[in-house]
Amino acid sequence: MLINAGVTHPSPFWLDRLSEGGRLIVPLTMAMRPSYGVGFMTKIIRHDGKFSAEIVTSVAIYSCTSMRDAEREPLLKTAMTGGGFTKMKLVRRDAHERTDQCIVHGTDVCLSAATSA
């Protein structure tokens, strides 16, 4: 699955529809203006119901305004500008409390530095 507009987090809808071994390429971006952002193309792969994540390359791209979360936007910006984003290893879908491994924590999707959930 290839998403061609910048978002603050992968949609649970997209993740739920990945088959085992399926790959999602999604630009996770911080908004620079309402219509575009900069960030990283991220590859997410489903393995045994879990989602590994890694940065593919940097990107500047138009924003997907319906997939920008105002609460996650500052967390994503801090992670990207502070270097924490490069530690991302998992996209977590399980319910859990925010820990120091959470790079961008959300109740439905969490970008995490943990190697396992």
Confidence category of residue 115, pLDDT binned at 50, 70, 90: confident
pLDDT higher than 90, residue 99? yes
Whether 38 is covered by a domain: the verdict is: yes
pLDDT digits (tens, 9 = 90+) for 39-83: 999 999 999 999 999 999 999 999 998 999 999 999 999 999 999
Q: How far apart, in whole angstroms, are the C-alpha atoms of residue 34 and residue 4?
A: 16
DSSP string, 32-91: EETTEEEEEEEEEEEETTEEEEEEEEEEEEEB-GGG--TTHHHHHHHHHHHSGGGG--EE
Whether 4 is covered by a domain: the verdict is: no
The helix or strand, by DSSP H or E, that contains position 13, with its residue range, turns out to be helix 12-16
Which residues does residue 24 pair with via DSSP β-bridges, in sequence order?
Answer: 44
pLDDT digits (tens, 9 = 90+) for 14-29: 999 999 999 999 999 9
Whether 55 is covered by a domain: the verdict is: yes
Whether 3 is covered by a domain: the verdict is: no
Whether 6 is covered by a domain: the verdict is: no
Whether 1 is covered by a domain: the verdict is: no
What 3-state DSSP class applies to 96?
coil
Q: Which domain holds residue 50?
A: 12-112
Whether 117 is covered by a domain: the verdict is: no
| Proportion of the chain above pLDDT 90, given as a percent | 90
pLDDT higher than 80, residue 34? no
Please count the structural domains in the chain.
1
